[in-house]
Chain A
């Protein structure tokens, strides 16, 4: 069985982000998010994920 590298909730949040920020119908309204905002979210999320992964490799048990 392959291993899930991220805890379930983080995986779901990454998948949700991909879809909410990159998918969905774009109607003629205003999309209020600047690209920079979105990049920052991903950077933040990556940092969170890699710190989670690092913690797990070091044997830290996460809730």
Chain B
């Protein structure tokens, strides 16, 4: 059984680290691209922090040598030829996508409200309550996106998704050139200082997880 970590260029070096279960890493080339994988007799992939960080560590090690597209966590193949034929089938798209992320890293930004919304007069009924809540959420999201716009100017691409909880308004991902990361993080600090009504969190640099899928190619 084969576990896939990332897609790299065919002539990339195998990173000097170990995969899940401390397994040896190997490259399966298919024309100009290659899959970075490890072989396991049997493997139960569980999304535990240790395995997640290991997957990330392998992708980051690969990125040190050249562009890499991280694979979705938990991607396995029955055997090497199944991986190779998948690489062959998607070859052109993978090659183009590698080119798009070359020299870039991903930065993750989340924005939320530092304080609970002010207490409003009681709603007249359930429907008014829901409508008010939706309208408030839309206002918050518009505000958060506007607040984040200076970050988009430093990025090659940006994606915004809705926050996952009431406190979290927006989750954003930015594809940033590696030599622009300092400028990006200065802007994050500045935004946080200027917007005490919000909390901002920024992590990274990450491999381009949010910019590896083919939907990004459009």
Residues of A within 8 A of B (CB): 1-6, 11-13, 15-21, 23-33, 37-38, 41-42, 46
Contacts and interface: CB of A to CB of B under 8 A. Distances in A.
B201 A11 contact: yes
Given A24-B73, A29-B83, 9 more contacts: A1-B193, A2-B198, A3-B114, A15-B108, A17-B47, A18-B171, A21-B73, A26-B213, A27-B35
Contacts of A3: 114, 199
Given A16-B206, A19-B209, A41-B47, A25 B201 contact: no
Contact of A32 (B74, B106, B214): B74
Given A5-B167, A5-B199, A37-B46, A23 B210 contact: yes
A30 B58 CA distance: 20
A37 to B, nearest CB: 6
Contact of B76 (A13, A23, A24, A30): A30
Given A6-B201, A23-B210, A29 B75 contact: yes
Interface of B: 2, 4, 7, 35, 44-47, 49, 52-53, 55-56, 69-78, 82-83, 86-87, 89-90, 94, 97, 106, 108, 110, 112, 114, 164-165, 167, 171, 173, 192-193, 195-196, 198-201, 203-204, 206, 209-214
Given A19-B106, A20-B73, A33-B47, A27 B87 contact: yes
A29 B86 contact: yes
B84 to A, nearest CB: 11
Given A33-B74, A41-B47, A25 B199 contact: no
Nearest to A28: B86
Nearest to B93: A25
Contact of A26 (B53, B72, B108): B72
A6 B210 CA distance: 22
B213 to A, nearest CB: 6
A38 B47 contact: yes
Contacts of B199: 2-5
Contact of A30 (B70, B73, B75, B198): B75
Contacts of A20: 47, 52, 55-56, 70, 72-73, 209
Contact of B203 (A12, A21, A32, A42): A12
A16 to B, nearest CB: 6
A24 B213 contact: yes
Contacts of A6: 201
Contact of B196 (A1, A5, A19, A42): A1
B45 to A, nearest CB: 5
